[in-house]
Amino acid sequence: MATITIQGFERECNCDHCGRPLKLGVQVSTYGCIGADCFRKLIKPNPKRYNGNGLPSADWVKQLAIIASKGDKYAEDRYGLYGNWKEYELR
């Protein structure tokens, strides 16, 4: 089981997955800086974690990248995120 971890974000960059210019890119452990849509394409759906199609929205992925850059303490205190909230299983 391969995983991908959100590490932070980068402004005004290009997606290392598809090459598209981005206003806000998600920094991940294995691919560098990618777009939120590419992130959604790479991860495995998890209906227990997210309703509907089992994937987080692109806006939520961007928000998670911003939260990850501020640290685990901030994520837990402000958003109630704990455990492995930054880690996702690849398809």
Mean pLDDT in the chain? Answer: 93
Asked if 9 and 24 count as a contact pair (C-beta separation under 8 A), the reply is yes
Reported as a single tens digit per residue, the pLDDT across 66-85 is 999 999 999 999 999 988 89
Closest alpha carbon to 22 in 9, 6, 35: 35
Q: What is the pTM of this model?
A: 0.90
Reported as a single tens digit per residue, the pLDDT across 9-52 is 999 999 999 999 999 999 998 889 999 999 999 999 999 888 88
pLDDT of residue 1: 79
pLDDT of residue 22: 96
pLDDT of residue 49: 87
Q: Are strands 21-28 and 3-14 parallel, antiparallel or unpaired?
A: antiparallel
